[in-house]
Amino acid sequence: MPSPTRRGLIGIGLLACVCAGPRTASGIDLPAGPVTLEYRFHPDEAVVMTVAHRARTETTISGTTQSTDTATDSRKRWRVVSVDDEGRATIEHSVDHVTMTSRSSDRGEVRWSSDSDAPPPPGYEAVRGSLGVPLSRVVIDRAGRVVSRVDLQPTPPSASGDLMVVPLPDGAVEIGAEWSVPQEIVVEVSGGPRRSVRTRLRYRLESVRENVAVIGIDTTVLTPIDDPRLESRLLERIWNGEIEFDIPSGRVIRRSTGIDRRVVGFSGQESSVRYRSTLEENLVTDDLPPPGE
């Protein structure tokens, strides 16, 4: 188109060690120096997040334009299974609930909610069986790097370019600091070429206000693309966005990404496709264990 145990955290259970800064008269915290962010995972922690994805695709071929709108609202859970002596956490990801709507200019609207007793419509049959069960198991270190990953259920690639967890920089950083994550995407077209494309996710610490760090994100395509067919297949993977990270508790409280791109000539000279999409994730719960546990 994902109910917690304890200590629900966004993205994953996390805690940041921060050099505290002075406060202004307005109550806004200003960092006095570099800030060190580090994930600290604990067994049985969980996160519950709401995810809202909206997308619109407009395709024009030979003067005829068709549009498709999709909306997916889900509630997903991350559960920390175990943590080793080096702080590497084994985490399982599952989806508790989903509501999906699809509307096209030529076929009308289809809507289905996993809370309904009605059978899923064609194309949605596999969704119900994937709810409430682990979809993937990953091992993540203190900086958010994925050490290993096993997909436990078939899952399509993320349309938002979303990583398993927001990566953090190594060591202390100040406002304006940047760090990046390389990615490799395999794109192909029916009956056409198949190509590996290198991209880079760049993160930048934009500001720190009222103990919330704002981190900007953008995507750069590093591999030259001269085929509009391949470029059209990349539309969903080139995204920008923003993360809000609560410093004292060490939690991502919001993640927002967006795409608005157009490709001309993917199916003849008079063809074009435009893809617009937004993805919003928000922390739902923060169930902390009692002191001493």
DSSP 17-66: ------B-TTS-B--SS-EE------TTEEEEEEEEEEEEEEEEETTEEE
Question: Which letter, b or e, does each residue of 173-182 get, where b requires 16 or more Cβ atoms within 10 Å of its Cβ?
Answer: beeeeebeee
Q: Give ∠ CA 285-288-290 in degrees, rounded to 5.
A: 150
With cut-offs at 50, 70 and 90, classify the pLDDT of residue 155: low
Q: What does the alpha-carbon distance between residue 24 and residue 97 come to, in Å, rounded to a whole number? A: 43
On the question of pLDDT at 131 being above 70, the answer is yes
Q: Among 38-42, 60-64, 149-153, name the one with the lowest average pLDDT.
A: 38-42
pLDDT computed for residue 239 by the predictor: 85
Tell me which range, 39-48, 72-81, 117-126, is most confidently predicted by mean pLDDT.
Answer: 72-81
Token pair listed for 25: 């008269």
On the question of pLDDT at 24 being above 60, the answer is no
Is 103 in contact with 85 (CB distance < 8 Å)?
no
Q: Among 38-42, 82-86, 162-166, 185-189, name the one with the lowest average pLDDT.
A: 162-166
Is 112 in contact with 106 (CB distance < 8 Å)?
no
Q: What is the mean pLDDT of residues 58-86?
A: 92
Percent of residues, the chain, with pLDDT higher than 90: 39
pLDDT computed for residue 265 by the predictor: 92
With cut-offs at 50, 70 and 90, classify the pLDDT of residue 163: low
pLDDT computed for residue 243 by the predictor: 92
Q: Helix (H, G, I), strand (E, B), or coil: what is residue 226?
A: coil
Beta strands, E only, the chain: 6-8, 35-36, 45-61, 64-83, 89-104, 108-113, 136-140, 146-151, 172-173, 178-188, 194-209, 212-221, 240-246, 251-264, 272-283
Q: What does the alpha-carbon distance between residue 256 and residue 280 come to, in Å, rounded to a whole number? A: 5
Better pLDDT: 202 or 105: 202
On the question of pLDDT at 39 being above 70, the answer is yes
With cut-offs at 50, 70 and 90, classify the pLDDT of residue 156: low
On the question of pLDDT at 44 being above 60, the answer is yes
Cα dihedral value 39, 73, 3, 85, nearest 10: -20
Percent of residues, the chain, with pLDDT higher than 70: 82
DSSP structural state of residue 219: E
Say which residues have a Cβ less than 8 Å from residue 139's Cβ, sequence separation at least 6. 88, 89, 90, 91, 146, 147, 148, 149
Q: What does the alpha-carbon distance between residue 137 and residue 152 come to, in Å, rounded to a whole number? A: 7
On the question of pLDDT at 293 being above 50, the answer is no
**CATH code, residues 6-283:** 2.30.230
Q: Which residue has tokens 């399982």?
A: 92
What are 223-262's pLDDT values in tens digits? 998 888 888 888 888 889 999 887 776 677 899 999 999 9
Q: What does the alpha-carbon distance between residue 231 and residue 273 come to, in Å, rounded to a whole number? A: 10
Instruction: Please count the other Cβ atoms lying within 10 Å of the Cβ belonging to residue 40.
Output: 15
On the question of pLDDT at 273 being above 70, the answer is yes
> 235 — phi, psi (to 5°)?
-55, -45
